[in-house]
Amino acid sequence: MLPLRRHIAATLFLLATAAAAQQPRTTILLDPAHGGPDAGAHLANNVLEKDVTLAFAARLRAALGGANFAVLTTRDADPAAAIPPDQRAGIANHARPAACLVLHATGSGNGIHLIASALAANAPQRTIPWDTAQSTAIPQSLALAIQLDAAFVRARIPALLLRARLRPLDNLTCPAIAIELAPLDNPGGSPTPVTDAAYQQQAADAIAKALTAWRVQIAPQPAPQSTPQPAPPDTPPTGAAP
């Protein structure tokens, strides 16, 4: 009997693995800002923003992959030519991810800056492309920003929520947030720089937890199933003999 039990257990494991593999994974697009001749901000110790955003994207990609997200990036190396904001928006809109995170870094401030588009959900005709998808994405972006803020609070990383007219955020049809790493203040000591591996990993783990909670929040709810009602007893037609 033991070999049969092992065979059944192995079969059940394979079936469960196959079922898990067929589950669609939520896609997140990461956009490490700048790149190529566009170096971005020049940070302390001659560090370039484009290098920080690329390194942070790699850590974030691993954290999201571990949380069962599919991850796409606008760049995974330093390109020879700059990638303009409109091209980044085109990549994201073509991929149709559940959300897009635009990654930045700065040498000023403290903690994480979360930036959502300042466009209103009921915006009138504008000079940039605008459609129903963008109008729907903005409230979802704000909901995502709230989840991110809560996750950073739990991770003891200060976060500042902002809204701004910022490309490519204004051109995206999916929920989108710009996440800007700033140095982390240490009472009685020197600030932790944005290049610190442990700081980047802590931020990446917090983002993965926030997106996991947000994924549950936006998941379509199953339609309520009505309880079958018992059939009424047979009644003779009116006027029929009993």
* Residue pLDDT tens, the chain, 242 long: 445 444 444 444 444 444 334 445 799 999 999 999 999 999 999 999 999 999 999 999 999 999 999 999 999 999 999 999 999 999 999 999 999 999 999 999 999 999 998 875 544 433 334 444 555 688 889 899 999 999 999 999 999 999 998 889 988 999 999 999 999 999 888 999 999 999 999 999 999 999 999 999 877 655 566 666 666 655 555 555 54
Task: Locate the DSSP E strands across 6-53.
Answer: 26-32
Q: Which residues contact 158 (CB under 8 A, 6 or more apart)?
A: 110, 111, 112, 152, 184, 185
pTM score: 0.78
- Measure the CA–CA gap between 19 and 67, rounded to whole angstroms: 17
Separation of alpha carbons 142 and 146, rounded Å: 6
CA 82 remoteness from chain centre: 24
Q: Which fold has domain 24-218?
A: Aminopeptidase (3.40.630)
Nearest to 115 by CA among 50, 180, 41, 199: 180
Domain regions of the chain by residue span: 24-218
Residues 6+ apart with CB under 8 A from 165: 117, 118, 119
